[in-house]
Structure 1
């Protein structure tokens, strides 16, 4: 079991969690919104502000993992995006982690730039606006 502590206020994050949930046929993932009203009551050892800065995950053993380690393990758990495991290779890992931290820090503006309308993502099915036809 992998518990993922994600930013439920981020449309892109919610969309990814919805995809993972749909693909998790064996119920190996537990998805926890760090902004849920009872989050601190249920998870007093997880700092929502820290989890807002970097994705947190907890293995069944209680061990915490962070950032791309969570993302890569989540997709591996549901049997998708096997290419992501390359992000954990020793020579690629440090660079990928730096890029991830930059993305995590600016994920809200990036989401707005990509989707240009957060409300389109509230259902968890974020789609870029269709391109306008010329003419």
Structure 2
């Protein structure tokens, strides 16, 4: 998120940590769901999730072309499944790739 925000020269993005008090301003987004999959709100106020959020965010900072192929119809089917796998196992994958977690909060997902 910090890397994405560093490209936001026009201040188009508002990034809210779900553990922050500011998240309470978004009661229409369930905290447990947001721990499972990335959530965002588009310019029309509609809640979007997953790679759609990622694409729209990068698009908002003028770099959407970098990940646009992930949203192509045939590729999208595969990348959405890969995203969900990654989202479900992101803490394990991250610790495997970058070392022990530096999470400041309870990073575990709620079990449903």
With structure 1 as the length reference, what TM-score do the two structures score?
Answer: 0.71
What CA deviation, in whole Å up to 9, does each residue of 1:18-63 have, x standing for no partner? 01111100011000111114523x1111111001111111012111
Unaligned ranges ≥5, structure 1: 1-16, 123-135
Where does residue 13 of structure 1 map in the other structure?
none
Are the counterparts in 1 of residues 37 and 50 from structure 2 also a CA contact under 8 Å? Answer: yes
- Hey, what's the Cα distance between the residues in 2 that align with 1:31 and 1:83? 20
SS in 2 for 1:57: strand
Equivalence map 1:77-116=2 (5 Å): 77-80=60-63, 82-116=65-99
With structure 2 as the length reference, what TM-score do the two structures score?
Answer: 0.84
What CA deviation, in whole Å up to 9, does each residue of 1:59-95 have, x standing for no partner? 1211111100010111122122623101111111111
- The structure that is strand-richer by fraction is 1
Are the counterparts in 1 of residues 41 and 47 from structure 2 also a CA contact under 8 Å? Answer: yes
Unaligned ranges ≥5, structure 2: 105-112
Task: Select the structure of larger CA radius of gyration.
Answer: 1
